[in-house]
Amino acid sequence: MSGRYAPSPSGPLHQGNLRTALLAWLQARLTPMPFILRMEDLDLPRVKPGSSEQIIEDLRWLGLDWDEGAGVNHTGGGPSAPYQQSARDPFYQQAFEQLLDQGVIYPCYCSRKDIQQAASAPHSHEHGPIYPGTCRDPKIRAEMEQRHPDKVAAWRYRVPARTITFEDQVVGSVSQTLDREVGDFVIKRADGLFAYQFAVVVDDGMMGITDVVRGADLLDSTARQIELFEALGYAVPNFWHVPLMVDESGTRLSKRGGADSLELWRQQGKSAEAVIGNLAFTIGLIDKDRPLSTHELLQGLTLDGLRRSLITATRP
């Protein structure tokens, strides 16, 4: 059993990233499980040089530590090395071939325009059109391939007509019907990159992750990931979808939006204890915004207390 924090090295960590890292660390340290740091650098065009090193430095400066992963120098980081997604392609390929043998994935030649124009495509208000399953039919797939002779196929997972219900440790009971609310989703892109939804399941499954603490923006991804965990024969972890941090206007913090980075705070003279205290206060772990270290915060906390604070912070 183990927990993990898996940032994308596409820029400096902002306040929301740091709070999620702190919560993932606390959840792991309140149990006997090891804590893993994994870099989700699969989408190389978005990776910024030096970001991984900066993330490691920032987390250590805050007082967060980990047992396996990026920045751990012995045995390549630990028994599940490598801990960078960009170096794990052979594992993804092996899992891809497993699904291919099961007959649950198929090549798709549809363009985004094809999907948007499909008369039968139901629409998800949040994520755009749901794929209508055009290329599921081998005859139609052959026609689509002829229509787009220069197009390299993406690969989609054939979702069953199934409702997945799971008990999130923070949000509570969540249900999603795969065929109506998700649709056949891409696991390997036309550019040859394996999709996040697929890679993260392979990584968590192979690394024995039992608890996934991550932002609530990924809650909608969970049902399809549970389907993949089961299809690949992995144990399904517990999920903790924690509230996102927002600015004064109610907009979620983002790297693109220029949210304050830890590097900026350090330049302004803020101490690690001041940052930790502020992050803990914003999620209700302490009753006053005051400086304290990660280990001081840990000493006054229980796993049930952490869960209760997160549940309270999630409620409107």
188 catalytic per annotation: no
135 phi, psi to nearest 5 deg: -85, 5
Mean pLDDT across 281-288: 95
Residues contacting residue 55 through CB under 8 Å, at least 6 positions apart: 7, 9, 12, 13, 39, 70
125 phi, psi to nearest 5 deg: -60, -30
Query: Tokens at residue 174, please?
Result: 């969540």
Whether the bond between 82 and the residue before it is cis, its omega within 30 degrees of 0, is: yes
Domain ranges (residues) in the chain: 2-84+201-222+239-314, 91-197
Residues contacting residue 266 through CB under 8 Å, at least 6 positions apart: 61
Which residue in 113, 139, 188, 255 is the catalytic one?
255
Q: Give residue-wise pLDDT tens across range 121-167.
A: 555 445 567 899 999 999 999 998 888 888 899 999 999 999 999 99
Q: Give residue-wise pLDDT tens across range 27-72.
A: 999 999 999 999 999 988 889 999 999 999 999 999 999 999 998 9
87 phi, psi to nearest 5 deg: -105, 5
The answer to whether domain 2-84+201-222+239-314 has CATH 3.40.50.620 is yes
Look at residue 119 in the predicted model and tell me its pLDDT: 46
273 phi, psi to nearest 5 deg: -65, -35
Residues contacting residue 117 through CB under 8 Å, at least 6 positions apart: none
Looking at the predicted structure, is the pLDDT value of residue 100 above 60? yes
Query: Tokens at residue 68, please?
Result: 């396996």
Give the residue ranges of DSSP H helices in 158-271.
196-206, 222-231, 262-267
CATH number assigned to the domain covering 91-197: 3.90.800.10
